[in-house]
Structure 1
Amino acid sequence: MTEPRKPLIRMRYLLIIIVILLLNFIKLPYYYSQPGIAQELQEVISVEGTNGIEEGAFMLTTVEMARATPLYFAWSYLSAYRHIIPEEQVRGSSESDSDYHDRQMLLMSNSQEMAKIAAYEQAGADVSYEYHGVLVTTIMEGMPAEGNLEIGDLITEVDGEPVHTAEDLIDLLSGYTEDDQVVLTVTRGNENLSIKFGFQAFPEEYEVEDGRVGLGILSPVTDRDVTFSPSVTIDETDIGGPSAGLMYSLEIYNQLVPEDITHGYLVAGTGTINEEGTVGPIGGASQKVVAADKAGAKYFLAPDAEGQNGTNYEEAKAAAEDIGTDMQVIPVKTMEDALTFLETLPENQN
């Protein structure tokens, strides 16, 4: 009489396993993110001629991100530091997973170059440049660039004016109206193209001021060859995006100068950087605070961009208070702000 129960029990276990697998593998139109790691940068950066000795360490911080599944979706409700993000806020509708990954790697590569330049300029070391144009990395859906430009196109001129940097491109495309047109000179593979564009108002979700128009080219990247003396190398990494720029620049600077500016402390942080040393905002500041605290950081450097409501610094400080860490959150607007703060630190006696 008890024999038929065994197949039923096996069936229940099988159904449970199938449900768990479905919950873990069904892809939702969202991304899941959580605190990542804090990585010491002395391990991945090397400036020629430096002894590389640091009593402390500079650390980049990351956010782990993956396509959301029902299991991840449910898991996110168990912590304020696990987030669910709509897919359209992460990548364009026509952008594949491979395209997104390539874009993140390109942004990271550009971030590393900016960090090198900022550090070398700050340290008074030698830097030389050879410019090629501006690379297209992201195209806004529904804007004039869609269907006319491709990811990887190299823009070299606007109405015959040479384009050397991303800032040049932004400047040359500003101040137009919807009645205007421009011609971009573009290199695509081995082909040189001249493409005429009209302008269009930005979609409301981008919260651009009224009356401003554009082509829909987001996150353009300067394509150039930069030579550094002494030479500097940054090991390849799977970490994408531009948010490690500030911490890269501090590690490079520390290897260029004779003194150890860590003063024996673990210093984590986040923030983009440009070649002038201006620190820019990033995503996931609160999650990166959690990662830095787990790694034992004493200080966390956070972007404090002027003119913003809810800066990364404010978000990071609130997170630090929420998790009860002894780690201090420090606001920085520029690389020089970070260096000024580090100069105030006494030598760590621990």
Structure 2
Amino acid sequence: MPRRTATMLASTLMLIALLCAGVFIKVPYSEMSPGPTVNTLGEHDGEPVLQISGRRTYGTSGHLNMTTVRVTSADYKMNLVEAVYGWLAHDDKVVPHNTLYPDGKTEEQSTQENAEEFSQSQESAKVAALKELGVPVDSWVIVSTVLKDSPAEGRLHAGDVIKAVDGTTVKAPDDVADLVTKHKPGEKVTFTIVPAKEQAAAEKERRRASATRKVTITTAASDDTGAPRAIVGISAGTDHTFPFSIDIKLADVGGPSAGLMFALGIYDKLTPGSLTGGTFVAGTGTIDDAGKVGPIGGVEMKTVGARDKGARYFLTPKDNCAAAAKDTPDGLTLVKVDTIGDALGALKDIRGGHTDALPKCTTKG
């Protein structure tokens, strides 16, 4: 066999061997890619995304699209060839597996956590939009979760309204932890609550719940690092009563990153005229009850997904601007926002044609 032929054959066999090895070698990485976008002003699976009743609504135009990211599942084992391809692909991103699934989190745990965050983001979006409109919203502190085998198990329940701890009125979720940790482990703490069932009945009958009861719990010691602190094994959150019905119909989406776009969609439907002026605007960002916009993950994937669907402007959380601006898709303007007020101001400039005034993202922020 001629030397040249033998060399080519050996090289080919080596390449085949390397490719086969690459297929079988598993690496601790996961992949992110652009996911679907949904117009919060439009329909999804045949029904309106935002459904408001009990309050006058107005016609809208254009798009206010929330954006998503697709990720590989927690139990998916990426091989070396897939990882290299992902690193080379422009619209995909390969990241360490524990970036998406820290502490060995399972697919089920991640899905549950994302669902809870998505639900909370919807509540905060409603509150932020109505506060911006000057519509009063009643809020109170609740038991959000009760840990299994904790002192509070069977004594407190998810949905219980926490009125006071040791007689001190509770005004915010953080107050609960502050008051409990004033105790030493083993000491008793007394909660004044409205039971979840009583609160639900009061909401249904559109009255203020008044039937309270006291629950005394013996605190336990925390098992985290540092000096032991008193705990009862609950997390506190916030619940609200709205003066009219606002339903967000969007399944198979998780996480908190659609909060800003839901808030803007609600605001648009409750006010005359069109926020976008008919323009295709997309965006992302968490939102809290006060209308503060927070950063999210996978912003580079979301800008690509938005532009592929036709977006011209992308509302970008201030803390995501530098990362997003490093590789801005052609034809997409990244607009920096820090609050719902910033977003509304930017939309006013967009529909008025004053785009030179927009606060644009740069690689410095």
Percentage of matched positions with identical amino acids: 28
Q: CA RMSD in A?
A: 4.2
- In the other structure, the counterpart of 2:344 is 339
- In the other structure, the counterpart of 1:119 is 129
Structure 2, gaps ≥5 residues long: 1-15, 44-48, 198-214, 354-365
Relative distance call for 1:226 and 1:92 in structure 2 (3 A) is farther
CA contact (8 A) 1:201 1:214 kept: no
- In the other structure, the counterpart of 1:4 is none
- In the other structure, the counterpart of 2:217 is 194
- In the other structure, the counterpart of 1:142 is none
Q: SS where residue 255 of structure 2 aligns?
A: coil
For residues 124 and 83 of structure 1, the distance between their equivalents in structure 2, rounded to whole angstroms, comes to: 44
- In the other structure, the counterpart of 1:275 is 289
For 2:87, the aligned partner's letter is Y
For 2:133, the aligned partner's letter is A
- In the other structure, the counterpart of 1:102 is 112
For residues 175 and 169 of structure 2, the distance between their equivalents in structure 1, rounded to whole angstroms, comes to: 8
For residues 297 and 321 of structure 2, the distance between their equivalents in structure 1, rounded to whole angstroms, comes to: 12
Relative distance call for 1:261 and 1:171 in structure 2 (3 A) is farther
Displacement of 1:30 in angstroms is: 4.7
For residues 333 and 230 of structure 2, the distance between their equivalents in structure 1, rounded to whole angstroms, comes to: 41
* Structure of greater Rg: 2
Relative distance call for 1:215 and 1:75 in structure 2 (3 A) is farther
- In the other structure, the counterpart of 1:226 is 241
Displacement of 1:287 in angstroms is: 1.3
Per the normalisation by structure 2, the TM-score is 0.67
For 1:110, the aligned partner's letter is Q
CA contact (8 A) 1:76 1:84 kept: no
Displacement of 1:199 in angstroms is: 5.3
CA contact (8 A) 1:114 1:275 kept: yes
Q: How many residues align?
A: 299
For residues 122 and 189 of structure 1, the distance between their equivalents in structure 2, rounded to whole angstroms, comes to: 29
Displacement of 1:53 in angstroms is: 2.7
**One of 158, 169, 173 as aligned partner of 1:166:** 173
Runs of 4+ aligned residues of structure 1 deviating over 4 Å after TM superposition are 26-30, 49-52, 149-153, 155-165, 170-174, 179-190, 199-203, 213-218
Displacement of 1:343 in angstroms is: 1.5
Structure 1, gaps ≥5 residues long: 1-15, 138-144, 204-210, 305-310
Q: Does 1:313 align with 2:321?
A: yes
For residues 30 and 185 of structure 1, the distance between their equivalents in structure 2, rounded to whole angstroms, comes to: 47
Deviations 1:107-159 (A, max 9, x none): 11111010001101111234334x3613139xxxxxxx896489996484655
Counterparts of residues 205-220 of structure 1 (less than 5 Å): none
CA contact (8 A) 2:30 2:78 kept: no
**One of 254, 273, 285 as aligned partner of 2:268:** 254
For 1:241, the aligned partner's letter is G
Q: SS where residue 238 of structure 1 aligns?
A: coil
For residues 92 and 216 of structure 1, the distance between their equivalents in structure 2, rounded to whole angstroms, comes to: 24
For 1:168, the aligned partner's letter is D
Per the normalisation by structure 1, the TM-score is 0.69
